[in-house]
A and B are shown apart, each in its own frame.
Chain A
Amino acid sequence: MVSVEVKPVTTVKSKVTIKGTKEGLVFFMDDTCSFDELLADLREKIEHSHQQILSGPLIRVSIKLGKRYCTPEQQEELTKIIRQKGNLVIHLVEADVITKEEAFAERLKSQFHVQVHTVRSGQVLESDGDILLLGDVNPGGTIRSTGNIYVLGHLRGYAHAGISGDTEAIIAAAVMNPTQLRIAEVVSKPGEEWTQNSGGTEFAYLENETMLVAKMNYLSRIRPELGETKA
């Protein structure tokens, strides 16, 4: 694919700038004009002025919205126009801005949640991101997280780390004596791949989809990246 810089057709500054890259076409959308202007210009380019370069074999298209926030409906309007051309395949719609809600959800995911209580039978402690529990998880109690789980207490109940499928997640406990452990999709109970060890601080992790439990001082070798990214 040849990199093509498309010059504006009119004297007015173009709202949609199309650039060719190795990965396909990139549509840069102006983020200062009104959405209607943007739609009109896009329609003009797709349907009239740029017929020639926009036809041919299948081309991957990325849309860059800049600092404009588009609702899912608005995004649909934009992509609908581009999809009129059967050979344009939309690969990615990207903006530099997100809503507060999305930002909040993102923050929760990367946050470290500290909880101080006992998770008793029938109770479920669940959160996005990493959990540090200062207390016990009793038999029949459950602790679940999308990230890692650290129990500074006696883990006697159920623990499930990486519930959205993160196989890199770990479960660490001051006293590891669980009813059952889960990391991502892997379920394991004491006596299967691992047995209860010394009673010191231990952590569970996945290696080739098998649950293993090791002493805490092996963590730096097995998951060295934990410290860099999360601390």
Chain B
Amino acid sequence: MRVEGIGGTDVGIGIVITSGKGGVGKTTTSANLGTALALMGQKVCMVDTDIGLRNLDVVMGLENRIIYDLVDVAEGACRLQQALIKDKRFENLSLLPAAQTKDKNAITPEQMEEIITQLKREFDYVVIDCPAGIEQGFRNAVAGADQAIVVTTPEKAAVRDADRIIGLLEREKVGMPKLVINRVRSHMVKNGEMLDVEDILDLLAIDLVGVVPDDDHVIRSANQGEPAVMNHESRASIAYRNIARRLLGEAVPLMPLEEKKGVLQKMRKFFGLK
């Protein structure tokens, strides 16, 4: 999907994936959303802005192919094209990795905006993985973005930080962000031990773009360096694909959180065999 740019040229869309709090699944969401969009035929570049604590390359299994990184591009040590890693599994997918030896201040929001603008000329979607926190790293990540996705988990602390981030994003040009609720455990929600989707939406008052169930497969696949969406059965994988479809403008209903159990499973449970 391309939007008409200034002067009649087609440009892609920069989407920043952010959360405020760490460990809620920004990198996982970036990796899976980027891959899902690529699988749907979009030309996608993922940008890791977590300088000093880069992870996106690891989750994508592309760590050993890094030669140049984001800071090299910003400092002019290499051309942008040289730093891009083309994912051989998906022809539409590239990664611009973060530097591991520098820190967040090694790059400025202006440099970042310039790089993202260049990438948007070539790609349909530029998925920007934001570091945790609200300092320079956050400002860098937001600098070139047109849209924002805020990731939260159904925990009070994560929702609080998401609220803070939404407040900060309102002042940026990305405007009202969209919300992804990650790692929802249906049995805890049912027992009232976890915030439910309604509670979170009531508080944050932004549009929901997806709910991702807690799924062991996500951890397994991240450890193998294969994004979860490559698997067709896992529930998290379906949820991520649905988010990508919604971003592309499709109206996809939210899937039920409760896993449907087969007759055999129900029988087993009835007889206590589990």
User: Residue B113 at the A interface, CB < 8 A?
Assistant: no
User: Residue A123 at the B interface, CB < 8 A?
Assistant: yes
Among A120, A123, A138, A139, max chain B CB count under 10 A is at: A120
User: Residue B166 at the A interface, CB < 8 A?
Assistant: yes
A135 (CB) vs chain B CBs: closest residue: B205
Are B203 and A140 within 8 A (Cβ)? no
Known: A120-B166, A122-B167. A156 touches B203 (CB 8 A): yes
Q: Mark A163-192, 1 if CB is under 8 A from B, else 0.
A: 000000000000000000000000000000
Are B161 and A121 within 8 A (Cβ)? yes
Q: Mark A112-125, 1 if CB is under 8 A from B, else 0.
A: 00000010111100
Q: Nearest-CB distance from A13 to chain B (Å)?
A: 61
List which A200-227 residues lie within 8 A (CB) of chain B: none
Q: In whole angstroms, what is the CA distance A140 to B205 when docked? A: 15
User: Residue B217 at the A interface, CB < 8 A?
Assistant: no
User: Residue A136 at the B interface, CB < 8 A?
Assistant: yes
A residues in contact with B170, CB < 8 Å: 120
What's the interface size class on A, roughly? 10 to 19
Q: Nearest-CB distance from B151 to chain A (Å)?
A: 16
Q: Nearest-CB distance from A159 to chain B (Å)?
A: 17
What's the interface size class on B, roughly? 10 to 19
Known: A120-B167, A121-B167. A139 touches B205 (CB 8 A): no
Q: Mark A139-163, 1 if CB is under 8 A from B, else 0.
A: 1110000000000001010000000
Q: Nearest-CB distance from A134 to chain B (Å)?
A: 13
B203 (CB) vs chain A CBs: closest residue: A138
User: Residue B160 at the A interface, CB < 8 A?
Assistant: yes
A residues in contact with B166, CB < 8 Å: 120
Are A122 and B205 within 8 A (Cβ)? no
Q: Mark B127-162, 1 if CB is under 8 A from A, else 0.
A: 000000000000000000000000000000000110
A117 (CB) vs chain B CBs: closest residue: B170
Picked from A118, A121, A154, the residue with its CB within 8 Å of the CB of B160 is A121
Are B167 and A123 within 8 A (Cβ)? yes
B residues in contact with A121, CB < 8 Å: 160-161, 163-164, 167
Tell me what chain B mostly uses at the interface: helix, strand, loop, or mixed: helix
Q: Nearest-CB distance from B21 to chain A (Å)?
A: 11
Q: Nearest-CB distance from A136 to chain B (Å)?
A: 7
Q: In whole angstroms, what is the CA distance A138 to B4 when docked? A: 37
Q: Nearest-CB distance from A204 to chain B (Å)?
A: 21
Q: Nearest-CB distance from A140 to chain B (Å)?
A: 6
Q: In whole angstroms, what is the CA distance A123 to B167 when docked? A: 7
Q: In whole angstroms, what is the CA distance A139 to B161 when docked? A: 10
B residues in contact with A139, CB < 8 Å: 160, 163, 203
Q: In whole angstroms, what is the CA distance A46 to B170 when docked? A: 64
Picked from B160, B168, B202, B204, the residue with its CB within 8 Å of the CB of A140 is B160
A residues in contact with B164, CB < 8 Å: 120-122, 140
Q: Mark B252-267, 1 if CB is under 8 A from A, else 0.
A: 0000000000000000
Q: In whole angstroms, what is the CA distance A122 to B205 when docked? A: 16
Known: A120-B166, A120-B167, A121-B167. A136 touches B160 (CB 8 A): no
Q: Nearest-CB distance from B162 to chain A (Å)?
A: 9
List which A93-134 residues lie within 8 A (CB) of chain B: 118, 120-123
A residues in contact with B205, CB < 8 Å: 118, 136
Q: In whole angstroms, what is the CA distance A136 to B204 when docked? A: 10
B159 (CB) vs chain A CBs: closest residue: A139
Q: In whole angstroms, what is the CA distance A173 to B205 when docked? A: 18
B residues in contact with A141, CB < 8 Å: 163
Q: Nearest-CB distance from A138 to chain B (Å)?
A: 5
A residues in contact with B161, CB < 8 Å: 121
A residues in contact with B167, CB < 8 Å: 120-123
Q: In whole angstroms, what is the CA distance A140 to B62 when docked? A: 39
Q: Nearest-CB distance from B148 to chain A (Å)?
A: 14
A-B complex: 4 closest residue pairs judged by Cβ atoms: A120-B167, A121-B163, A121-B164, A122-B164
Chain B residues within 8 Å of A, Cβ to Cβ: 160-161, 163-164, 166-168, 170, 202-205
* Known A120-B170, A121-B164, A138-B203; further 4 A-B contacts with Cβ < 8 A: A120-B166, A121-B163, A123-B167, A141-B163
- Listed A/B pairs (28) with beta-carbon separation below 8 Å: A120-B163, A120-B164, A120-B166, A120-B167, A120-B170, A121-B160, A121-B161, A121-B163, A121-B164, A121-B167, A122-B164, A122-B167, A122-B168, A123-B167, A136-B203, A136-B205, A138-B163, A138-B203, A138-B204, A139-B160, A139-B163, A139-B203, A140-B160, A140-B163, A140-B164, A141-B163, A154-B202, A156-B203
